[in-house]
Amino acid sequence: MVWNMGRLRGRGWWAGACLGLAVLLLVTALLSYRWGLGRAPVGAAAPAPSPTASPALTTAQVYAALAPSVVTVRGAGTGAGVVANADGLVLTAYHVVRGARTITVSFADGTVSPATLAGSDPANDIAALLPATAPTVVVPAVLGNAGRLAVGDDVVAIGNQLGLTGTTTAGVVSGLDRAATGERGTRLRGLIQFDAAVNPGSSGGPLVNDRGETVGIVVALLNPTDAGTFVGVGFAVPIGTALAAGGDGSGPPGPQQ
C-alpha cells in the first residue's frame, strides 16, 4: 500500500494553522477584555460639550423683566418711556413732550412725579426726562446694543397703546437702518423696523430683545392711510442714539449703536 504522504502533510499544516489562529483570537479577546484594548482608557476625560447660547426669554418673561422700568409719560400727548439709569432718568419720544407746559411721569409702583426735560434730540425724536421725585426703589432697564440686532430677531414692544397701559406685543426685526418721516415732517434715519404691533400711545416705549435688553425707543409707525393705526411697520430709534439725547451731561452713559 502506498500512502500519499504529500496529501497527509498538507492536511496537517492546514489544521495546525487553523488551531493557531483560533488560539491567537482567543488571547486577543482575553487581553481586550482585561486591559480594555480598543476602548478609551477607564477614567479618560470625556469630550467637553460644545457651548450653547443662553435660552431666549419668552414674551411673558421679557414683560416681567421690563414692567418695573416702563413708565407713562403725559405731556403734549400720552405715551410711554423707560427708566434708563438709577437716578430715574427716563427716555421717551420727543413728540410726546414737545412744547408741553407740564410733563408728568407715572412709574410702575404708582409714583407720579412732575418731570423736566433733561436733554433732547428732535432730529431723532428722542427726549430725556428727569422726574422731580423718583420711586423709593428705582428699577432701570438693562440696556442692550442695537448694533447686534439682525433681521428676523425676536423683539417685544411695551407701551400704552390707545391708552391701554402696559400693552405688550411681540414680533421680529423687519429691517435695519431704515428712514421714515416723523411728526411735523422730521426725517428720521438709522431706525429699527419691526412688526410688533404699536399704535398711538406706544411712542417712547422700549423695544426689547429676547434677552430682556432694551435696544430701541419706539417713535413711529408707517401707515399709507390717514388712520394712524398699525399696519405692520413700526420704527424705533436705536438705544445708543437715544442715549445721546442726554449728551449735555445729564444723560446716562451706555452702549452705543
Backbone angles phi, psi at 230, to 5 degrees: -80, 135
Amino acid in the structure at residue 188: L
Q: Which residues are annotated as catalytic?
A: 95, 125, 203
Q: Which residues pair with 72 in a beta bridge?
A: 80, 106
Count of alpha carbons within 13 angstroms of residue 63, beta-carbon side: 12
Q: Which residues pair with 207 in a beta bridge?
A: 157, 216
CA distances from 62 to 6, 90, 170, 206, 238 (A): 90, 19, 10, 11, 18
CA distances from 56 to 142, 148, 154 (A): 15, 15, 9
